[in-house]
Amino acid sequence: MAEQVKDVSRLSAAESLARGLSIPRPPLWLIGSWAVGRLAVVLTAAAIRPSIWTFDLWDGRWYDLVARSGYLFVPGRLSDPAFFPLYPILLRGLHALGVSWAIAGPLLSNLAFPLALALFYALTRELFDASLARRATIFLAIFPLGYVFSMAYPESVALVFIAAAPLAAMRGRWWLAAACAGAAGLTRPEGLFLLLPLAGIAWQQRRALDATGRGATLAAVLAPTAGAVAFPLYLASVLNDPLAWTRAQQAWHRSFGITRIVTAFSRLPGYVSYDPLFVRDIRDVAFFFLYLGLLVAARRVGTPLPWLALAAGIVVLPAFSGSFTSIARFGLVAPPLFWGLAGITKNARAERGVQALSLVLLVLATLSIGYVFP
Amino acid sequence: MRQALLSVAMGLAGATAVAGAGWALEAAALPPPEHADQVAAAAIGWLAEHPFAVDVFHAGHHRLHGACTQGSFRAGHGRGVVHGTLISLRPGPVVVFARHHQVVRIHGAPLRFLPPSLAAAVGCPRRLASTLDRATHFGDSLRVERSYAANQPALKLELRRVHDERLTLYVSPQRARPLVAILARDGKVATARIYLGNTTPQALRHFHISPWPNR
């Protein structure tokens, strides 16, 4: 192993990238499940409103605003420092290549998603057997909340980095893992939790690494935090306010505290109302409890503890902001949830049943684009 | 020991490089905010922090006082409670702008030269904040220049004309505290000298404002 790690350090950057993230040729079922999921989303969205704008709604507008005009913190109002920067930077890059603002978001998300699926499959293959990897990948491709992967939201890009960083680390390409982990931290706050599986992988490989390798390992473990820290540093330089992200979150009624989970639960009865948004709120609460169940299932299939901690952080921590809002969407970038789902569907009939239910819910959830927020 | 130190140094250098590269990417790729947008954002901060304001209005050749606040109010005559933005003009009516465009006149007759909706749009902090906030979402809809207002140097923040409406807000140069707003709409022009402050019982009594007590 030490030999292998030394050899890796002599590779050129391009070779390292190619080897670190090399994925097997996507099997037909992967392409098929991706196509079925996307068709379900696109056709349903087209039925609501035959326009690309369907996929550019809600938070997509905020990312679009950041990409066009940069950040501006407006005290006491909803403002854009609540949104992490890498996705709007990529939108700006696409726009510079001649893609219109309206198309850039949906195009970027839809290009990133098949890559995310392939990387997720490769990662799952490294951790589990091929059968579980297949089931988990198909569930991810057609998951009910998966319509977000086609919208101008950063989830598909975040998933690319969240799958790529540990995959590269498991293959001993720690500098590549550091770059991907840093990018994940710059894309979504959930990227921060990558330090847990990366630390776990580093611990497993500790005996095979020399001093240089250990340095790269430490860099990769710190990289998600470093990537995320780059955001407040930038906000400090342009807005003179490194806490603009936190303060912008408060306008969305999110402020973190130990007792805020009690607030989240105490608000539950108020979710039942005539406001159409209550559908979203009820859905998010339902998915919160579903995710907790899937975490238990993930543990049963032998998911390593650092990965479980990552998923628990992604699912449970937002509840400490005093709200369950959007937890259903946040869970999309937590791979262990899909490993758990694959774990409870070993039986072919159960697998087909969950797939069918997932597709139906995906169509219904896509219909909700016209009514409520994700 | 030396090897361990080398590993830690490399790790920290790598993490710093990631943070530095992230910052550099943001700085290179994203445009900095426009000065006019920043001034508007700071003014919105003042307006959001002070939902109560006393105004001196000028409309046509008339000059009158008014007060504006947010909350729940007794509608009078057994009509219960209304929630929203209240504007009280002296002399003039007391009107609440509630949700769903509902307008509830609590007492007094409307003034021909200063309709309550115009007074609220130019003199109510939350209304002004909403107008400015919308403007910050659309590129180059705001312009800022040095000027003079309320007997002091000021920044003049001009909103691009939307339909037949034009708003100009003068703010203090250092901290962008709103001083004077001018709104032209439907052929009428109203000016408000804005005094942002805190609600006091005397001010509420003076302007005939009866808030519904919070329980």
**Residue B131 domain flag:** yes
Across chain A, which distance is largest between two alpha carbons, in Å? Answer: 65
Q: How far apart are CA A52 and CA A54, in angstroms?
A: 5
- Asked whether residue B8 falls in the same domain as residue B71, the answer is no
Which residue, among B112, B71, B70, has the nearest Cα to B93 in the 3D structure?
A: B112
Cβ <8 Å between B26 and A85 = yes
- Asked whether residue B17 falls in the same domain as residue B118, the answer is no
Token output for A162:
């969240």
Q: What is the pLDDT of residue A15?
A: 67
CB A158, CB A188: distance < 8 Å: yes
pTM above 0.80, yes or no: yes
Q: What is the pLDDT of residue A11?
A: 56
Dump pLDDT digits (tens) for B26-67: 999 999 998 999 999 999 999 999 989 999 999 988 999 999
Q: How far apart are CA B148 and CA B139, in angstroms?
A: 26
**Residue B104 domain flag:** yes
Q: How far is CA A222 from CA A155, A336, B103, in A?
A: 22, 22, 56
List the 83-142 stretch of B: residues with Cβ below 8 A of A. Answer: 129, 133, 136-137, 139
C-alpha atoms less than 13 angstroms from C-alpha of A170 in its C-beta half-sphere: 15
Dump pLDDT digits (tens) for A80-97: 999 999 999 999 999 999
Q: What is the least distance, in Å, from the CA of A101 to any CA of chain B?
A: 14
B1 touches chain A (CB under 8 A): no
- Asked whether residue B95 falls in the same domain as residue B200, the answer is yes
**Residue B75 domain flag:** yes
In 10 A of CB B31, how many CB atoms? 14
pLDDT in tens, chain A (374 residues): 444 444 444 556 666 666 667 777 788 999 999 999 999 999 998 887 766 666 777 888 899 999 999 999 998 888 999 999 999 999 999 999 999 998 999 999 999 999 999 999 999 999 999 999 999 999 999 999 999 999 999 999 999 999 999 999 999 999 999 999 999 999 999 999 999 999 999 999 988 888 888 999 999 999 999 999 999 999 999 999 999 999 998 888 887 888 888 887 877 766 666 566 667 778 888 999 999 999 999 999 999 999 999 999 999 998 888 888 889 999 999 999 999 999 999 999 999 999 999 999 999 988 887 765 55
- Asked whether residue B74 falls in the same domain as residue B20, the answer is no
Cβ <8 Å between A85 and B30 = yes
**Containing structural domain, residue B162:** 36-206
A48 touches chain B (CB under 8 A): no
In total, chain B counts a number of residues equal to 215
Q: What is the pLDDT of residue A4?
A: 47
Q: What is the pLDDT of residue A373?
A: 55
- Asked whether residue B116 falls in the same domain as residue B72, the answer is yes
Cβ <8 Å between B22 and A227 = yes
Cβ <8 Å between A72 and B26 = no
- Backbone dihedral angles phi then psi of residue B81, each to the nearest 5 degrees: -120, 140
Q: Which of A66, A86, A237 lies closest to B27 in CB terms?
A: A237
Q: How far apart are CA B40 and CA A138, in angstroms?
A: 48
CA B102 from chain center: how many Å? 21
Q: How far apart are CA B106 and CA B96, in angstroms?
A: 7
Which residue, among A12, A32, A29, A30, has the nearest Cα to A20 in the 3D structure?
A: A12
Q: How far apart are CA B89 and CA B122, in angstroms?
A: 13
Q: What is the least distance, in Å, from the CA of B63 to any CA of chain A?
A: 32
- Asked whether residue B129 falls in the same domain as residue B68, the answer is yes
Size of interface A-B (CB pairs under 8 A): 154
- Asked whether residue B75 falls in the same domain as residue B160, the answer is yes
Q: What is the least distance, in Å, from the CA of A222 to any CA of chain B?
A: 6
- Asked whether residue B161 falls in the same domain as residue B61, the answer is yes
**Residue B214 domain flag:** no
**Residue B100 domain flag:** yes
- Asked whether residue B19 falls in the same domain as residue B116, the answer is no
**What CATH number is given to the structural domain containing B196?**
2.50.20
Total domain count for chain B? 2
Q: Is the dihedral of CA A107, A109, A110, A115 positive or negative?
A: positive
Q: How far apart are CA A213 and CA A175, in angstroms?
A: 9
Dump pLDDT digits (tens) for B115-156: 899 999 999 999 999 999 988 887 668 999 999 999 899 999
CB A223, CB B13: distance < 8 Å: no
In 10 A of CB A103, how many CB atoms? 16
- Asked whether residue B8 falls in the same domain as residue B84, the answer is no
Q: What is the pLDDT of residue A194?
A: 97
- Asked whether residue B111 falls in the same domain as residue B78, the answer is yes
- Asked whether residue B25 falls in the same domain as residue B44, the answer is no
**Residue B212 domain flag:** no
**Residue B140 domain flag:** yes
Q: Which residue is listed with tokens 């109560």?
A: B52
